[in-house]
Amino acid sequence: MDNIVGSGLLAVVAGAVVAVLAFVPFVAISYRHRGRLTVGRSLLWAGAAVYFWAIWTYTLIPVPDAEVYRCAGVNLHPFAFVDEVRAAVAVSGRYLTDPVVLQVALNVLLFAPLGFFLRVLGGRGILIAGLVGFAISSVIETTQLTGVWGLFPCAYRVFDVDDLIANTGGALLGSILAFAVPAQHRGAERAPDADTARPVTRRRRLLGLVCDVVGVWLVGFAVAVVVQAALVLLLGEASSFSTDDVASLAGTIAASGLWLVVVLGTGRSIGDLATRVRFTDGVLPAWLARPLRFVTGAGMYAFLAELPAPWSLLAGLLAVVTGALLLVWPDGRGLTGWIGRRRLVDERAGVVSPTVDRAARAR
C-alpha cells in the first residue's frame, strides 16, 4: 500500500510540474485553437499530465534494493491469465475480489484513461487507441525485461505478454467509454468559432495576469539555474560572493527584460497575447502608453521585488493596487487602463471569422 501511495504522489507532483511548465503555452494554444479556455478541458489536460506519469510510476517504481535483488521471470504464453483466474476462483470462490482477478482488472483499468484521453482530447479513434496502448505497454514491458535498459543485471519485474493484452484492451475500453462525452466536447479540431470575439471578463483578465506571473517566474528561474551552474563551474569554492544572489538577480533582469521587449514591441504583455486581449487607444501616445503597460505589469513587479527594502515594498503595493483595480471594472483593465483611459477588448473584435465570412458570401 505504501508503494502505491508513493507512486501516486510522485505522479501528482510530476504532473503538477508539467502543468506549470506548459501553462502559458497551453492558455495561448487554447485561445487560438478553441477561442477560449474552459475549466472542464483544463482539468482533463491536467488529469492527462498526471496520468502520463502514473503509468510509469506504477509500473517501474519502486526500484528494488540491490541487497535483496532477485531476477523476475517471463511469461510468453498469451491468455495464460485465463487459466490462472479459473484456478484462483475455484479455490477462493471470489469472482470479484480474488487477487488474481484484481490483478488482471487493474491492468485493464490502468490503460483505460489512455483511450479516453486519446479520443476526448486528441480526437483519435479506437484503432489508434489500441495501437498506442500496445506501443506504450510494449515499451514498459521491455524496460522491465531489460532491467531498465541495462541499469540492472536482469528484469526485476515479470515480463508478461498477458499484460500487453490487458493493457491494450484497457485502451480500447477507454476509447469506447469516451463516447459518453458529448461530441462537441471531443476531439482536437479547431473550433469553428475560434476567431469570434468574446467579452473580456475579470476571469479572463485574471488568467492573463496569472500567465504573466507564471511566465516571469519560469523565465527567471531557468536563467538563475543556468547562471548558478555556470558560476559554480567557473569559480567553485573560490567565489568571494553569494552566487545565489547573483543568479537570482540575473534571472530577474532576464525575465523583466524579456517582458519589456515584448511590451514595447507589441503594446501587450505575454499574458495579454496568450488570452488574446488588447488595450484600445486612450489619451496617451503609443510611445508613452507602452512603457506604462510594462511599468504596471508583472515584469516591473519582479524587478521591484528584487530591490532591497524598503524599495521592495513597492512590489507589494503594485500587486495590491492591481488586484483592487481588477475588481473595479468588468474588463479588469487595471492601472494601465485607469491612467491612460484605455479599455480592454478582444483582439478579434472587428475581425470576421472565416466560417462566418463564407456563410455571408453564400447568402
Long-range contacts of 182-185 (CB under 8 A, 24+ apart): 185/40, 185/41, 185/120
Spatial CA neighbour of 57 closest among 17, 7, 2, 1:
7
Please name every residue paired with 159 in a beta bridge, in sequence order, or none if there are none.
74
Non-local (6+) Cβ contacts of 272 within 8 A are 208, 278
Single-letter amino acid, residue 327: L
Non-local (6+) Cβ contacts of 175 within 8 A are 115, 116, 118, 119, 124, 125, 126, 129, 130
Structural domain boundaries in the chain: 1-62, 70-194, 202-346
CA distance 259 to 300: 9
Provide the pLDDT for residue 269.
Answer: 96
Provide the pLDDT for residue 106.
Answer: 87
The vertex-284 CA angle with 281 and 286, nearest 5°, equals 70
For 93, 117, 171, the CA distances from 179, given in Å and listed in that order, are 35, 11, 13
C-alpha cell at 273: 497575447
Q: In terms of pTM, does the model score above 0.95?
A: no
Please name every residue paired with 160 in a beta bridge, in sequence order, or none if there are none.
75
Enumerate the H helices of 68-201 as residue ranges: 80-92, 99-120, 126-145, 147-150, 161-177
Segments in the chain below pLDDT 70: 1-6, 64-68, 95-96, 237-241, 350-363
| Three-state SS sequence of 328-342 | CCCCCCHHHHHHHCC
Provide the pLDDT for residue 291.
Answer: 94
C-alpha cell at 215: 511566465
3-state secondary structure (DSSP) of residue 74: strand
Provide the pLDDT for residue 353.
Answer: 43
Please name every residue paired with 142 in a beta bridge, in sequence order, or none if there are none.
none
